[in-house]
Amino acid sequence: MFQLNFTEINHEIILFILFNVIVIFMLILDLGILTKKEGPISLKKAGYWTLIWVGVSMLFAVFIYFYDTDPNDPSKNRVKTMEFLAGYLLEYSLSIDNLFVFIMIFQKFRIGPAYQPEILKWGIIGAVVLRAIMILLGASLVAKFGWVLYVFGFFLIYTAYKMFTHKEEDESFHPENNMIYKLVKKVFHISHHDHHAHKFFIKENGKLMVTPLFVVLCLIETSDVMFALDSIPAVFSITQDPFIVYTSNIFAILGLRSLYFMI
């Protein structure tokens, strides 16, 4: 019995390591190639990378289907694959709404296309880290308190309701009402000159200041966290397997940067 559990743990560790190696490798390629030259990203290049990220995600679903097939339970891998695809599609569809919030933030702060790739690069990296932490906490809650799944189920219903009843009533963005914006203004001195050659921090008259790019990055990260508070519980209501929740969620957001430049 101990040997069986040990083997299962080993398989899980191998999968997590493999997934993270794939993610790091693809991020280096994506962020390295897309930001090799400063400036806006072309529609053609964004389209290629959007297809690549979707393709890699589908290949990973195939890998889940065939990896470590249990002869005593042949349907297990099929169920895990369907859970991965359901979580991926749910997160991907919700993230598209998030991209329109990004557009509003960029427009409000007048951040041009030349500066957006750098902000989104760090935004995606930050989102991966923050979501990994949130998923870990969510998995711990599910393991300790089974009733939490009912709460997560409510989030799934609420998320579906929002998707089908979304109205275009107030699509404006008001930073003056945003708590994070107020906090950044209180803690940091904000430079209002220009975007300082893609820098987030500068020194003016011997004083450390943040640029509008940093302010926008903070707002984008906050926006993603707020969306994740909806989407992650929704995925947990589909599957309680932390690996499936983690991989489907991360794969869905990794392609957002290239998808953004197709909108």
CA angle 139, 9, 66 (to 5 degrees): 95
| Cβ atoms of residues 128 and 250 within 8 Å | yes
Residue 84 binned pLDDT confidence (cut-offs 50, 70, 90): very high
What's the Rg (C-alpha) of the chain?
20
pLDDT of residue 2: 35
Whole-number average pLDDT of the chain: 81
pLDDT of residue 194: 62
User: What is the C-alpha separation between 219 and 29, in angstroms, rounded?
Assistant: 26
Helix%, strand%, coil% for the chain, nearest 5: 75, 5, 25
Least confident of 3-17, 67-81, 88-102, 147-161: 3-17
pLDDT of residue 71: 64
User: What is the C-alpha separation between 120 and 69, in angstroms, rounded?
Assistant: 38
Place of tokens 């997160």: 91
Residue 5 binned pLDDT confidence (cut-offs 50, 70, 90): very low
Residue 13 binned pLDDT confidence (cut-offs 50, 70, 90): confident
Residue 169 binned pLDDT confidence (cut-offs 50, 70, 90): very low
241: tokens are 């397997």
248: tokens are 């489907």
User: What is the C-alpha separation between 63 and 37, in angstroms, rounded?
Assistant: 34
- Please give the tally of structural domains in the chain: 1
Question: Is the confidence at residue 33, as pLDDT, over 70?
Answer: no
Q: What is the pLDDT of residues 105-128, one digit of tens each?
A: 998 888 888 888 889 989 999 999
Residues spanned by the domain of 137: 2-260
Least confident of 3-7, 35-39, 44-48: 3-7
**Which of 32-46, 52-66, 222-236 is predicted most confidently?**
52-66
Q: Identify the residue with better confidence: 257 or 3.
A: 257
pLDDT of residue 15: 81
Least confident of 63-67, 72-76, 119-123: 72-76
